[in-house]
Amino acid sequence: MNRAIYRLLRLNHRVRLWLSRQLTPSGLWLLAGLFVFGLIGLDIKRSISYQIFVFLLAILVVSIVLSRLGRYRFSAVRRLPRFGTVGTPLQYRVVIDNRSRRPQQGVSLVESFENALPNFRTFQNIVRQSRQAKNSRSEWFRLLALRKWTFAPAVPLPSLAAQGETEVIGEIIPLRRGLLRFQRLTLACPDPLGLVNRCISIDRPQSVLILPQRYELPALRLPGSRRNQADSLALAASVGDSEEFRALREYRPGDSPRKIHWKSWAKLGKPVIREEQEEYSVRHALILDTFQAEDYSEVMEEAIAIAASLAYTVQTQESLLDMVFVNDQAHCFTVGRGLGQSEYLLELLASVVPCQDKGFETLLPLVRSRLSLLSGCICIFLTWNRDRQTLIEQLQAAGIPVLVLIIAPEKGLATPPDHSCLQDADSSLHVLTVNNIQAGLLAL
Interface residue list for another protein (CB under 8 A): 24-26, 29, 33, 36-37, 40-41, 43-59, 61-62, 66, 86-89, 93, 104-106, 141-142, 145-146, 151, 153, 158, 167-169, 171-173, 175, 190-195
Task: Give yes or no for a contact between 183 and 122, defined as CB atoms under 8 angstroms apart.
Answer: no
Q: Judged by CB, which is closer to another protein: 116, or 146?
A: 146
Cβ atoms within 10 Å of 117's Cβ, excluding its own = 18
**Residue 161 beta carbon to another protein: minimum distance, rounded to whole angstroms:** 11
Q: Judged by CB, which is closer to another protein: 109, or 355?
A: 109
**Residue 114 beta carbon to another protein: minimum distance, rounded to whole angstroms:** 19
**Residue 386 beta carbon to another protein: minimum distance, rounded to whole angstroms:** 36
Q: Judged by CB, which is closer to another protein: 122, or 264?
A: 122
Q: Judged by CB, which is closer to another protein: 50, or 83?
A: 50
CA dihedral of residues 176, 179, 185, 186 (deg, nearest 10):
-30
Q: Judged by CB, which is closer to another protein: 108, or 206?
A: 108
**Residue 59 beta carbon to another protein: minimum distance, rounded to whole angstroms:** 4
Q: How far, in whole angstroms, is CA 271 from its chain's centroid?
A: 48
Q: Which amino acid is at 108?
A: S
Task: Give yes or no for a contact between 155 and 109, defined as CB atoms under 8 angstroms apart.
Answer: yes
Q: Judged by CB, which is closer to another protein: 47, or 256?
A: 47
**Residue 311 beta carbon to another protein: minimum distance, rounded to whole angstroms:** 21
- Give φ, ψ of 188 to 5 degrees: -100, 120
Q: Judged by CB, which is closer to another protein: 102, or 267?
A: 102
Q: Judged by CB, which is closer to another protein: 18, or 151?
A: 151
**Residue 102 beta carbon to another protein: minimum distance, rounded to whole angstroms:** 9
Q: Judged by CB, which is closer to another protein: 48, or 397?
A: 48
**Residue 154 beta carbon to another protein: minimum distance, rounded to whole angstroms:** 9
- What radius of gyration, in Å, describes the C-alpha atoms of the chain? 30
Q: Judged by CB, which is closer to another protein: 171, or 276?
A: 171
**Residue 115 beta carbon to another protein: minimum distance, rounded to whole angstroms:** 17
**Residue 151 beta carbon to another protein: minimum distance, rounded to whole angstroms:** 5
Q: What is the rounded distance in angstroms from the CA atom of residue 38 to the CA atom of residue 57?
A: 10
Q: What is the rounded distance in angstroms from the CA atom of residue 343 to the CA atom of residue 312?
A: 7
Q: Judged by CB, which is closer to another protein: 3, or 16?
A: 16
Task: Give yes or no for a contact between 275 and 247, defined as CB atoms under 8 angstroms apart.
Answer: yes
**Residue 171 beta carbon to another protein: minimum distance, rounded to whole angstroms:** 6
**Residue 54 beta carbon to another protein: minimum distance, rounded to whole angstroms:** 4
Cβ atoms within 10 Å of 181's Cβ, excluding its own = 15
Residues in the chain: 444
Q: What is the rounded distance in angstroms from the CA atom of residue 310 to the CA atom of residue 323?
A: 10
